[in-house]
């Protein structure tokens, strides 16, 4: 059982900044995210896109913002459960919570902060009739363990970075890699496109474009796919079919936690502390809603800060506290580091 003070669901910008604000109050955080890396949408959807409305940054790439937030909160040693989706929440008799993930990892905390953005990212599945029948029987939407594909015949479908990157990577692992895309053009980093071209020329990647996978067949396990290219249709043998058409966020199991939901978001008390209808559970950032709500990263930062002050009172009901300024008090990391403003020089002028 992982124990922490504030359990944060969602490791996007709002969740990461919560770690910092909680750290100033000597509260420890642990984050759960369905994605295998921190950063949320910023790292998953648009890491190379600039953001222009982060205060004091005239321009910052979404990926760089993630790195800076991780750097800023590092001294407070956050724990991470990545690649697992928060599934259930159980309120204990003492008012604390146990949150269990899709892989059964249990987390125990007196306060839960949902910073889940638009929800957890789920793979977008192509519209092939019996595809679902073969899920985990040769059809996978996410590559978790590349070794799984050693000496197998793999078909990847898609035209973005993940389809390109995995085709390149698996060309060294699988016995045969086929990449199928609806167009001849690919939407990805130039390096990746050029590498796939090179591997195709060397006969290491079998490229079928413009074409589409329209069917899967097998016997308890996938054995072949049906490909439509121009007017002709043909069958291709394979051991694995991996459609990589990106991810789309879904509120998912959080919707069943007994929280008040409005417009696909969690209702919170914005006059006070962003607490939900369940005391001890907060919702901050894009996942919440209240009159006048704006889904902006900078609003998430503000909400995280106020929420931490309220969480402090739940965790330390009888302790007095007054807001401190980092410039005055410095920052004491849980890792033993200390940051502080240099003392002013006082010297006499003769």
Partner 1 sequence: MEQDINIKITDRDGVTHEVLAPTDMAMNLMEVVRSYELAPEGTIGICGGMAMCASCQCYVLSDTELPEMQDDEEAMLSEAFYVKDNSRLGCQIQMTPEMEGLEVELAPES
CB of 158 to partner 1, least distance (A): 6
| Residue 127 engages partner 1 in binding (rule: CB under 8 A) | yes
CB of 206 to partner 1, least distance (A): 20
Examine residue 160 and tell whether it contacts partner 1 (CB under 8 A). yes
By the 8 A CB rule, do 115 and 12 touch?
yes
Question: Cα 48 from chain centroid?
Answer: 16
Give the residue from 116, 71, 111 showing the smallest Cα distance to 94: 111
102 and 81 in contact (C-beta within 8 Å)? Answer: no
Q: What single string gives the DSSP state of each residue in 45-93?
A: T-TTSEE--BTTBSSEEHHHHHHHHHHHHGGG--EEEES--EEEEEE-T
Q: Determine how many CB atoms are found less than 10 A away from the CB of residue 303.
A: 26
Rounded distance between C-alpha atoms, residue 250 and residue 160, angstroms: 21
Nearer to partner 1, 121 or 274 (CB): 121
The yes or no reply on residue 45 touching partner 1 (CB under 8 A) is: yes
Scan for tokens 């949320």, then name that residue: 40
Residue 249 is a binding residue for partner 1 (CB under 8 A):
yes
* Distance separating alpha carbons of residues 278 and 204, to the nearest angstrom: 55
Contact pattern for partner 1 over residues 47 through 86, marking x by CB under 8 A: --x-------------------------------------
Residues 253-312 that bind partner 1 (CB under 8 A): 263-265, 289
Which of 52-60, 133-141, 183-191, 192-200 is the region at the interface with partner 1 (rule: CB under 8 A)?
A: 183-191
| CB closer to partner 1, 183 vs 339 | 183
Residue 181 binds partner 1 (CB under 8 A): yes
| Interface size with partner 1, residues (CB under 8 A) | 27
Of the candidate spans 9-17, 24-32, 175-183, 190-198, the one that interacts with partner 1 by CB under 8 A turns out to be 175-183
Least distance in Å: CB of 41 to partner 1? Answer: 8
- Minimum separation from the CB atom of position 195 to partner 1 (A): 18
> How many CA atoms lie less than 13 Å away from 167 in the CB half-sphere?
34
Q: Provide the token pair at 99.
A: 């949150």
Q: Residue 227, SS3? A: strand
Rg of the chain over CA atoms, in angstroms? 24
Contact 32, 104 (CB under 8 A): no
CA–CA separation, 187 vs 147, rounded Å? 26
Residue 67 backbone dihedrals phi, psi, to 5 degrees: -60, -40
Shortest approach of partner 1 to residue 135 CB, angstroms? 17
What CA–CA distance (Å, rounded) separates 33 from 42?
A: 13
**x/- binding map, residues 12-41, to partner 1, per CB under 8 A?**
-----------------------------x
Does 189 interact with partner 1 (rule: CB under 8 A)?
no
Closest to partner 1 by CB, 15 or 23? 15
Position among 42, 118, 227, 254 found at the interface with partner 1 (CB under 8 A):
118
Part in contact with partner 1 (CB under 8 A); list of ranges 98-106, 122-130, 234-242, 266-274? 122-130
Q: Which of 119, 105, 173, 118 is nearest to 143 (CA)?
A: 173
Q: How far is the CB of 299 from partner 1 (least distance, A)?
A: 14
Binding site for partner 1 (CB under 8 A): 41, 45-46, 49, 118-119, 124, 126-127, 158-160, 181-183, 185-187, 245-246, 248-249, 251, 263-265, 289
């Amino acid at each position: 059982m992982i124990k922490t003070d504030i359990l944060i669901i969602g490791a996007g910008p709002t969740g990461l900044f919560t770690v910092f604000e909680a750290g100033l109050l000597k509260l420890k955080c642990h984050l759960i995210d369905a994605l295998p890396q921190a950063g949320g949408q910023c790292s998953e959807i648009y890491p190379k896109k600039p953001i222009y409305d982060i205060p004091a940054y005239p321009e910052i790439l979404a990926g760089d913002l993630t790195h800076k937030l991780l750097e800023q909160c590092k001294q407070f040693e956050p724990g991470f459960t990545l690649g697992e989706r928060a599934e259930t929440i159980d309120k204990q008799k003492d008012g604390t919570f146990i949150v269990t993930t899709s892989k059964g990892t249990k987390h125990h905390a007196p306060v839960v902060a949902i910073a889940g953005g638009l929800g957890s990212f789920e793979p977008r599945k192509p519209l092939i009739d019996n595809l679902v029948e073969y899920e985990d029987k040769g059809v996978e939407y996410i590559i978790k363990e590349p070794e799984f594909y050693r000496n197998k015949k793999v078909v990847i479908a898609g035209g973005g970075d993940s389809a390109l990157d995995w085709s390149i990577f698996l060309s060294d692992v699988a016995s045969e890699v086929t990449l199928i895309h609806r167009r001849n053009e690919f939407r990805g980093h130039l390096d990746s496109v050029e590498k796939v071209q090179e591997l195709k020329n060397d006969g290491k990647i079998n490229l079928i474009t413009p074409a589409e996978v329209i069917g899967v067949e097998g016997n308890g396990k996938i054995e072949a796919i049906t490909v439509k290219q121009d007017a002709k249709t043909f069958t291709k043998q394979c051991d694995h079919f991996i459609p990589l058409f990106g991810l789309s966020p879904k509120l998912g199991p959080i919707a069943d936690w007994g929280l008040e939901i409005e417009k696909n978001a969690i209702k919170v008390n914005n006059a006070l502390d962003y607490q939900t209808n369940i005391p001890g559970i907060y919702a901050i950032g894009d996942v919440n809603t209240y009159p006048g709500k704006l889904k902006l990263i900078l609003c998430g930062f503000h909400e995280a800060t106020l929420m931490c002050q309220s969480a402090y009172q739940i965790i330390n009901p009888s302790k007095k506290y007054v807001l401190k300024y980092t410039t005055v008090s410095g920052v004491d990391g849980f890792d033993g580091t200390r940051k502080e403003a240099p003392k002013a020089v006082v010297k006499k002028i003769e």
